Amino acid sequence: MEALRCNLNPTFLDQFTNDVLTGLSQQQKTLPSKYFYNSRGSRLFDRICDLEEYYPYRTELSLLPRIAQEVSALLQQPYDIVEFGAGSLVKIRLLLQHLEHIRNFVPLDIAGEHLNKASALLKSEFPALSVMPIVCDFTRKVSLPTELTLPRLGFFPGSTIGNFTPQAAQTFLSNARKTLGPNAMLLIGVDSKKDPHILHRAYNDSLGVTAEFNVNLLQRINEEICGDFDVQAFQHYAFYNTRQGRIEMHLVSQKRQEVTIGHTRFSFAEGESIHTENSHKYTTQEFRDLAQKAGWQIRSTWADEQQLFRVHLLSS
């Protein structure tokens, strides 16, 4: 099963290069977190999800069977499902096992090879389901296959919404509403504000998998757009920014050095960082306000007993 590609490879590489050069030209150097997810990055993230410290994955996973049963009771007509940032397609299985009226499934992801393999496996497990993967930047409005004529249920698990700034999150939610069309719903995972110690452990695991995931972004730049990062000369650093209500991930230069990407050279001082990811945490009211600005209303909310993680069902 081969995924439809929204971006021809040269166009994608041009955008990747432009985003990297723009980010590294800022006073606080940055790199977009969406580029974590090449094939190796996707595999590393799968390993992160299995870590004892990484509570979001297992907490949401424990909630999904009950959520699926209750959502199934709400869906009294056939629906198509569109998953944003689909990854390994683990969580969608829990919905498909309980939702009776799903005809088509469209997973959207930026990592094509990983998506193709996961989609083929899913199709083998659910042979009656039409699986139509699309390789694209799912943060933008996506043109879906014309075969999708039913109302749509969007699925955006894993608290990836927190990787966006609040303004960018609002833009994504607005674009998702346009992608899904009229009378759509969106099931979305959102990480809660909590004890900073729990957050610190989740993003600084004892095995160093998160650090490897972070540094892999530099290796991808080297391999795909002619960078020459010394990946051993950058160290993973993650902390909870209380004022901003977010985890920040950085890569810190361990020495004074220069890096060239194509024909552009960048200088790094010892201790200077590249800001690679945010993970914003939200109260229910904060997320309700954000969703409303993008044209969504919260219809239902589920949470674990410790209130570590929430899943919201939105309606447009």
User: From CA 182, how far away is CA 79, in angstroms rounded?
Assistant: 13
In a domain, 231, yes or no: no
Residue 8 pLDDT > 80, yes or no? no
> What is residue 191's predicted lDDT score, i.e. its pLDDT?
98
Q: Tens digits of per-residue pLDDT, 148-198?
A: 999 999 999 999 999 999 999 999 999 999 999 999 999 999 999 999 999
Number of domains in the chain: 1
Contact predicate 242/251, CB 8 Å: no
Count of alpha carbons within 13 angstroms of residue 276, beta-carbon side? 28
> What is residue 9's predicted lDDT score, i.e. its pLDDT?
57
Q: Tens digits of per-residue pLDDT, 220-278?
A: 999 999 999 999 999 999 999 999 999 999 999 999 999 999 999 999 999 999 999 99
User: From CA 215, how far away is CA 209, in angstroms rounded?
Assistant: 10
User: From CA 299, how far away is CA 312, in angstroms rounded?
Assistant: 7
In a domain, 192, yes or no: yes
DSSP secondary structure string, 72-120?
HHH--S-EEEEEET-TT--HHHHHHTT-S-EEEEEEEES-HHHHHHHHH
Q: Tens digits of per-residue pLDDT, 125-156?
A: 999 999 999 999 899 999 999 999 999 999 99
In a domain, 88, yes or no: yes
State the pTM of this model: 0.88
Provide the residue range defining the domain that includes 197: 1-223+283-316
> What is residue 220's predicted lDDT score, i.e. its pLDDT?
97
User: From CA 303, how far away is CA 147, in angstroms rounded?
Assistant: 35
> What is residue 10's predicted lDDT score, i.e. its pLDDT?
65
In a domain, 302, yes or no: yes
Task: Give the N- to C-terminal CA distance of the chain in Å, as an integer.
Answer: 32
Residue 288 pLDDT > 60, yes or no? yes
- Phi first, then psi, for residue 277 (nearest 5°) are -160, 145
Contact predicate 92/65, CB 8 Å: no
Give the domain CATH number at 175: 3.40.50.150
Query: Hey, is 228 helix, strand or coil?
Result: coil
In a domain, 271, yes or no: no
> What is residue 240's predicted lDDT score, i.e. its pLDDT?
97
In a domain, 288, yes or no: yes
* CB proximity list for 69: less than 8 A, separation 6 or greater: 98
User: From CA 263, how far away is CA 260, in angstroms rounded?
Assistant: 7
Q: Tens digits of per-residue pLDDT, 65-124?
A: 999 999 998 888 899 999 999 988 999 999 999 887 899 999 999 888 889 999 999 999
Long-range contacts of 65-69 (CB under 8 A, 24+ apart): 65/94, 65/97, 65/98, 66/302, 67/187, 67/302, 67/311, 67/313, 68/94, 68/95, 68/97, 68/98, 68/99, 69/98
In a domain, 275, yes or no: no
Contact predicate 281/264, CB 8 Å: no
* CB proximity list for 271: less than 8 A, separation 6 or greater: 252, 253
Contact predicate 94/81, CB 8 Å: no
In a domain, 24, yes or no: yes
User: From CA 105, how far away is CA 82, in angstroms rounded?
Assistant: 6
Instruction: Give mean pLDDT, residues 6-24.
Output: 82
